Amino acid sequence: MTNPTLRAIGWNPFFEKQLAPIDVQSVIVARVSAHHGSQVVLYGETGEFRVPVQSAMAAGAIAIGDWLVLNATDNRAVQRLERKTLLTRKAAGEEAKPQILVANVDTVFIVSSCNEDFNRSRIERYLAMTLQAGATPVVVLTKADLSDEPAALVHQARQLHPGLSVEVMDARRPEQATVLRSWCGAGQSVALLGSSGVGKSTLANALGAGELATGGIREKDGKGRHTTSSRSLHLLPTGGVLVDNPGVREFQLPDCEDGVTDLFEDVVRIVFECKFSNCGHDGEPGCAVQAAIESGELGERRFANFQKLDEEQSRNAKTLARRREREATRANKAAIAKERRR
């Protein structure tokens, strides 16, 4: 399975290894690229092909970006390969269930425009989610042509995480998007994330993903019109693949402790220095957080957002843990009842 076409679209030893127990003569591998009603679009060694949803899901639930092992004779999935990275958010509604956005991307372009959409706390939310997924975040600031101070915004965004890559551009101009090429080479998988109207599909087109529909934004508040309605994976002329996503509305973090801790490592380190381990950071003696805010080492906004995101993810993690517990208890009771009926 060392076919160059497969390698270009992200096939690598991580997935190859999982094939070991399978008789490779009787199967093919393919990557999930889109979902259209009753059909799933896949990319394989011979290019794009479609299979009925029932065949694609025969080995379990799938997400865009997943690798499937299919029976060569009837294209039925026999295995969904273990994921290298997994981007999730908390599903809408009361349940804390995580909702999968995309699987197996190496890089996430967190797209924000330089106008009304620019918001450091929102970017931090996407960063925590991306770090949790195990992918590399790159902040892409679009609509540089509409801003008087794009350089100041780049500077602000770079402060959000040590070593964070931040690029700024007019996304309508392919020659400006070339700064993103190093993340789009053969074998690389990238996903675009961000609010509606920030220019994700415009950027995808500039990178050569094809002819994706783009739409105007509302005059009064600069918000988008949710032009892209479904997630899809596209081949890039630079060799890699790119997943365009619908604009994300407000969303909550799922169980995301590692992502939050990684992103806010500076804050966590300061909190650790407070005299009391249960410090409320609200005027207690020996509070390292207060001291850091006073000295300017820690910004008030950053600390407040850390607290907000950390509480949110831990609340959702706890609800999820309770739900799993309930499910386990229910399964247990059902098993006991079944045993009794025997």
Ligand X SMILES: Nc1nc2c(ncn2[C@@H]2O[C@H](COP(=O)(O)OP(=O)(O)OP(=O)(O)O)[C@@H](O)[C@H]2O)c(=O)[nH]1
Closest CA to 159 of 198, 129, 120, 122: 120
CA dist 342 and 327 (Å) reads: 23
Site stretch for ligand X (CB under 6 A), options 46-54, 77-85, 216-224, 273-281: 216-224
- Residue 267 in the binding site for Zn ion (CB under 5 A): no
**Least distance in angstroms from the C-beta of 213 to Mg ion:** 7
**Least distance in angstroms from the C-beta of 256 to Zn ion:** 23
Residues with Cβ within 8 Å of residue 78, at least 6 apart in sequence: 22, 27, 58, 59, 69, 70, 71
Residue from 123, 279, 292, 309 that binds Zn ion (CB under 5 A)?
A: 279
**Least distance in angstroms from the C-beta of 133 to Mg ion:** 21
Reading the block at residue 311, the tokens are: 């509480």
143 within 8 A of 226, measured Cβ to Cβ: no
CA dist 219 and 126 (Å) reads: 26
- Residue 201 in the binding site for Mg ion (CB under 5 A): yes
DSSP string for residues in 59-76: TS---TT-EEEEETTT--
- Residue 246 in the binding site for ligand X (CB under 6 A): yes
Residue from 216, 283, 285, 296 that binds ligand X (CB under 6 A)?
A: 216
Size of the site for Mg ion (CB under 5 A): 4
157 within 8 A of 140, measured Cβ to Cβ: no
Measured at the alpha carbon of residue 246, what is the angle toward residues 79 and 254, in degrees to the nearest 5? 65
Q: Which is nearer to ligand X, 98 or 247 (CB)?
A: 247
- Residue 274 in the binding site for Zn ion (CB under 5 A): yes
Structural element, H or E, at residue 7: helix 4-8
Reading the block at residue 11, the tokens are: 């096939």
- Residue 298 in the binding site for Zn ion (CB under 5 A): no
Residue from 172, 181, 223, 315 that binds ligand X (CB under 6 A)?
A: 172
- Residue 289 in the binding site for Zn ion (CB under 5 A): yes
Residue type, 92: A
Q: Which is nearer to Zn ion, 56 or 289 (CB)?
A: 289
**Least distance in angstroms from the C-beta of 73 to ligand X:** 39
226 within 8 A of 196, measured Cβ to Cβ: yes
- Residue 287 in the binding site for Zn ion (CB under 5 A): yes
Residues 207-236 that bind Mg ion (CB under 5 A): 227-228
Closest CA to 14 of 69, 81, 78: 81
Site stretch for ligand X (CB under 6 A), options 43-51, 68-76, 198-206, 254-262: 198-206
- Residue 199 in the binding site for ligand X (CB under 6 A): yes
| Three-state secondary structure call for residue 174 | helix
- Residue 108 in the binding site for ligand X (CB under 6 A): no
Instruction: Kindly list the residues in this chain that would bind Mg ion in the complex (CB under 5 A).
Output: 200-201, 227-228
Residues near Zn ion (CB under 5 A) are 274, 279, 281, 287, 289
